[in-house]
Amino acid sequence: MMNTITLTEKDIYTGPLVLVDADHPVDASYETKLVSVESDYADIFLNQKAATVLANIF
């Protein structure tokens, strides 16, 4: 069963997943510790907790 959710403008910077690119820069109010995913991909960052979980998977 699929559920539909509706997000408002204020919901953009909430939750564990945030799109960041040239058109969507990180908002100054977004506070989290970001770490590099891997030295080969030094320009890709994840939330520290997400990076830890990903490292444990691999």
pLDDT at 3: 92
Burial class (CB in 10 A: 0-12, 13-18, 19+), 29: exposed
Give residue-wise pLDDT tens across range 5-48. Answer: 888 878 776 776 777 788 888 777 777 788 888 888 888 888 88
d(CA 28, CA 8) in angstroms, rounded, equals: 19
pLDDT the model gives residue 4: 92
Confirm if 30 and 18 have CB atoms less than 8 A apart.
yes
Handedness of CA 36, 30, 16, 4 (dihedral sign): negative
